[in-house]
């Protein structure tokens, strides 16, 4: 199935808008600040249940509309086993008492998030700023894993939220509690709870990094991913207990995890870390390699091919990399934004496409 149509109501910069999408490729073009990325995020939110940019979900509701407290994204899918087969999905954000409540619907029937995601195609997002994830702080790479895994595994999302909430309470105990006996009793409960939540998070991350490493070569370039889990266990807690009392905070756990991408350097016959020693071009290739793995992973999680979203990648990639990306994603539905001229698209796109100008 592919996404035939999307309708937006009070979503970010949009008031009311409906767009038809091409089964192969749709290009969203226009000047800066016209809402291109907002439209792409609407598609992503429809598919995944949340946006891809940092910030609060209240930001999805168009603040320029007076008294607006509801935003929604609705999509119509077609192209199933029978040509006439269609499926509708709707995601609603409703603001009440300062909190945003989300509602998920399939064919006008309310669903739990887990069921909602099972009906929707998956999404794979290419965005230029994701290259900075490779070269930036470990927190960016953890966020990348969390957003990706949480979009497929509702249990992962829940366990991660449980862990982060419990970790804050444990840190507050370490910071505030002066009675050592009471501190020990309180920590006994939270430590057991955190070990259980952290085990699930670490295993899911480990499994995904292992999956990435099964990804084939890219343009004769051989990459690998190395995961550095920071295990949260009773044994390690015993080892760090004294230092934690002095630092007054938790010193171990998944909040300190990291992973790196390396590429084989044939002359030296050894791998080099992309973030430290890779050129900008090699970093782009590493990101494309990661996205190939995402597409393969999406296919393993669903019988449907993922929808590929490109956020202004034409301004970041040179023509060789543009053609490479297009070859890789050719058999998927593609929705892309660009500020560049669309005149050169026939040189890199095989197949039909439509253009939406904002």
The CATH number covering residue 278 comes to 1.20.1050.90
Q: Does residue 240 share a domain with residue 201?
A: yes
Task: Assess whether 146 and 115 both reside in one domain.
Answer: no
Identify whether residues 218 and 355 lie together within a single domain: no
Quick one: 171 and 102 in the same domain? no
> Looking at the structure, do residues 201 and 267 belong to the same domain, yes or no?
yes
Q: Which one of 253, 276, 301 terminates a domain?
A: 301
Instruction: Tell me the pLDDT tens digit for each residue of 107-130.
Output: 999 999 889 988 899 999 988 778
Same domain, 156 and 217: yes
Q: Using the 3D structure, point to which of 270, 301, 332 is the last residue of a domain.
A: 301
**Do residue 286 and residue 198 come from a single domain?**
yes
- Number of domains composing the chain: 2
The full 3-state SS of the chain, as one line of letters, equals CEEEEEEEECECCCCEEEEECCCCEEEEECCCCCCHHHHHHHHHHHHHCCCCCCCCHHHHECCCCCCCCEEEEEEEEECCCCCCCEEEEEEEEEEECCEEEEEEEECCEEECHHHHHHHCCCEEEECCCHHHHHHCCHHHHHHHHHHHHHHHCHHHHHHHHHHHHHHHHHHHHHHHCCCHHHHHHHHHHHHHHHHHHHHHHHHHHHHHHHHHCCCCCECCECEEEEEECCCCCHHHHHHHHHHHHHHCCCCCCHHHCEEEEEEEECCCCEEEEHHHHCCHHHHHHHHHHHHHHHHHHHHHHCCCCCEEEEECHHHCCCHHHHHHHHHHHCCCCEEEEECCCHHHHHHHCCCCCEEEEC
State whether 140 and 221 are in the same domain: yes
Q: What is the CATH number of the domain that holds 315?
A: 3.40.50.300
Q: Judge if 162 and 250 occupy the same domain.
A: yes
Residues 272, 233 share a domain: yes
Q: Are residues 71 and 141 in the same domain?
A: no
100 lies in the same domain as 218: no
What string of pLDDT tens digits covers the 358 residues of the chain? 889 999 999 999 899 999 999 999 999 988 888 889 999 999 999 998 888 876 788 888 988 777 778 999 999 998 755 556 789 999 999 988 888 999 999 999 999 988 998 889 999 998 877 888 999 999 999 999 998 998 888 899 999 999 999 999 999 999 998 888 898 999 999 999 999 999 999 999 999 999 999 888 887 789 999 999 999 999 999 999 999 999 999 999 999 999 999 999 877 688 999 999 988 888 888 888 999 899 999 988 887 889 999 988 777 777 777 888 888 888 899 999 988 777 777 777 777 888 888 8
User: Which of 301, 325, 342 represents a domain boundary (last residue)?
Assistant: 301
- Structural domain harbouring 23: 1-122+303-358
């Amino acid at each position: 199935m592919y996404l035939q149509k999307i309708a937006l109501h009070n979503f970010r910069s949009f008031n009311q808008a409906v767009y038809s999408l091409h089964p192969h490729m749709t290009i969203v073009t226009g000047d800066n600040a016209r809402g291109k990325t907002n439209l792409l995020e609407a598609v992503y939110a429809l598919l995944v249940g949340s946006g891809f940019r940092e910030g609060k979900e209240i930001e999805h509701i168009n603040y320029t509309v007076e008294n607006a407290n509801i935003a929604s994204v609705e999509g119509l899918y077609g192209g199933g086993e029978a040509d006439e087969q269609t499926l509708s999905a709707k995601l609603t954000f409703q603001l009440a008492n300062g909190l945003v409540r989300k509602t998920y619907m399939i064919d006008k029937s309310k669903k739990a998030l887990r069921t909602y995601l099972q009906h929707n195609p998956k999404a794979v997002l290419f965005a230029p700023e994701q290259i900075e994830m490779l070269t930036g702080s470990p927190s960016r790479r953890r966020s990348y894993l969390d957003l990706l895994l949480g979009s497929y595994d509702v249990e992962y999302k829940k366990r991660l939220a449980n862990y982060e909430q419990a970790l804050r309470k444990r840190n507050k105990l370490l910071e505030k509690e002066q009675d050592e006996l009471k501190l020990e009793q309180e920590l006994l409960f939270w430590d057991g709870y955190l070990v259980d939540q952290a085990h699930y998070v670490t295993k899911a991350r480990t499994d995904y990094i292992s999956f990435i490493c099964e990804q084939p070569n890219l343009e004769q370039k051989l990459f690998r991913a190395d995961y550095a889990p920071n295990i949260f266990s009773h044994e390690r807690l015993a080892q760090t207990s004294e230092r934690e009392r002095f630092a007054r905070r938790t010193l171990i756990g998944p909040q300190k995890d990291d992973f790196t991408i390396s590429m084989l350097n044939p002359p030296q016959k050894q791998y080099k870390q992309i973030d430290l020693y890779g050129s900008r071009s090699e970093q782009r290739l590493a990101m494309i390699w990661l996205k190939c793995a995402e597409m393969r992973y999406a296919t393993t999680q669903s019988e449907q091919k993922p929808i590929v979203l490109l956020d202004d990648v034409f301004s970041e990639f040179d023509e060789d990399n543009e053609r490479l990306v297009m070859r890789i994603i050719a058999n998927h539905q593609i929705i892309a934004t660009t500020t560049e001229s669309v005149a050169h698209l026939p040189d890199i796109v095989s197949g039909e496409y439509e253009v939406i100008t904002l």
